[in-house]
Amino acid sequence: MKQFLYIVVFLTGSLLFAQETFTANFDYEVSYEIPNGMKGKDTLTIAFDKTGRYVWTDFKKLFDRFSIMLPQENNLMTKDMVLDVIYDSKTTKVYMNLNSDNFSFFIKMNLTAFLPGRVNPAPFKESFSLLSEKSEDKATLLNKEYPVYKVYPDNLPEEKNKISLVFAEEYPIDNDELLRALFDLMIDDENDGKITTNFPKGVILQLSGSGPQNEVILKAISIKKISRTITINNTLEIKE
Complete DSSP assignment for 31-94: EEEEE-SSSSEEEEEEEE-TTS-EEEE--GGGGHHHHTTS-GGGT---TT-EEEEEEETTTTEE
Query: Which of residues 3 and 101 earns the better pLDDT score?
Result: 101
Mean pLDDT for 18-42 is 83
Express each pLDDT in 197-236 by its tens digit.
899 999 999 999 876 667 899 999 999 999 999 887 665 4
Mean pLDDT for 180-207 is 79
- Nearest Cα to 156, choosing from 120, 186, 129, 183? 129
Q: What is the pLDDT of residue 129?
A: 84
Distances (CA, A) of 70 to 75, 81, 196, 234: 9, 14, 40, 22
Express each pLDDT in 3-26 by its tens digit.
433 433 443 444 444 446 778 999
Question: What's the whole-model pTM score?
Answer: 0.79
Query: Which of residues 160 and 51 earns the better pLDDT score?
Result: 51
Query: Which of residues 218 and 104 earns the better pLDDT score?
Result: 218
pLDDT band at 238 (very low <50, low <70, confident <90, very high): very low
Q: What is the pLDDT of residue 108?
A: 84
